[in-house]
Amino acid sequence: MRAPAVAGRFYPADPRKLEAVVQGLLEEGRRAVAALRGALPTAPPVALVAPHAGYDYSGPVAGSAWALVTPARDAVRRVVLLGPSHHVAFRGLALPERDAFDTPLGGHVVDADGVLAMKGSPVTGAYDDAHRSEHCLEVQLPFLRVALGPLPIVPIVTGEASPTEIADALYWVWTPGTLVVVSSDLSHYLSYREAAAADRRTADAIERLDGAAVGPHDACGSTAIRGLLEAARRRGLTARCVDLRSSGDTSGARDRVVGYGAFGLWAAPS
């Protein structure tokens, strides 16, 4: 069992408080999504991009992303999580050497079939050091737990990898009933006005599925985003931004902010 690394810092460690916080953020997100509902596909998305800072900062925007899939509670059977390594540098995609990830709300089993499928990719392997202190996937788990329940997960920390390598790896695991979630913040430490402009450009690029226009200065999870967008192009998906804010909107200070975006990716109607 992988123990939480940032409980009590990025989000509450007390289970009752944490569940109440996440429920509130999801409800806020549902209201934001409802305001756009006429402009969004009616089916739930098959992939998300959600931010991963402390909940006081990015939680409202993450709530908008996860609110998109709450209607799919009975349709999603497992979740593939991808996010960037903040602590160790490596080549490829890192799977954990653990059977489950614990949270204050309960554990999520690592999906053995998904891990086995991912190992069909030559750039994917077990590397526990990439997961041990990493927060980007962990902060998504309470949202997953409250929005969709205790589903099995395939947690992947991305190192150096090309969009083609990531899209090829996702081919093995992105089957019906699988939700793919990329965890990424957007711009870092710009002024409020500069960040708003930069993040709007990034959001437009994501909506165009233009991964080449999303670089490391645009999103800390640019590697995972670019891989997701390559896979989305292959699958004929469409992407929409449903929330775009910064820490200047959620925490007050506006001199140096971090940008956050919530995105859904949808399959074409059958």
Report CA-CA distances (Å) from 47 to 97, 103, 128: 25, 22, 25
pLDDT value at residue 269: 80
**Per-domain boundaries in the chain:** 15-266
| Beta pairing, strands 124-126 & 93-95 | parallel
The average pLDDT across 184-211 equals 98
Which of the four pLDDT bands, split at 50, 70 and 90, describes residue 37?
confident
Is residue 134 over pLDDT 80? yes
Which of the four pLDDT bands, split at 50, 70 and 90, describes residue 252?
confident
CATH topology of domain 15-266: Protocatechuate 4,5-dioxygenase; Chain B (3.40.830)
Per cent of the chain over pLDDT 90 is: 96
The average pLDDT across 140-148 equals 98
- Is the pTM higher than 0.95? The answer reads yes
Q: Which residues of 168-201 are buried (b: 16+ CB within 10 A; e: fewer)?
A: bbbeebbeeebbbbbbbbbbbebebeebbebbee
**Cα–Cα nearest to 151, from 76, 83, 94:** 76
Q: Is there a contact between 257 and 191 (Cβ–Cβ < 8 Å)? A: yes
Calpha distance 96→111 (Å, rounded): 11
pLDDT value at residue 110: 98
Which of the four pLDDT bands, split at 50, 70 and 90, describes residue 235?
very high
What lies within 8 Å, CB to CB, of 183 at 6+ separation is 49, 50, 51, 52, 81, 82, 83, 84, 136, 137, 139, 140, 221, 224
**Cα–Cα nearest to 49, from 267, 265, 213:** 265
- Using one digit for the tens of pLDDT, what is the confidence trace for 16-26? 999 999 999 99
Q: Is there a contact between 80 and 156 (Cβ–Cβ < 8 Å)? A: yes
Q: Is there a contact between 206 and 239 (Cβ–Cβ < 8 Å)? A: yes
pLDDT value at residue 270: 64
Task: Please report the sign of the dihedral spanned by the C-alpha atoms of residue 41, residue 45, residue 47, residue 49.
Answer: positive
Calpha distance 1→153 (Å, rounded): 13
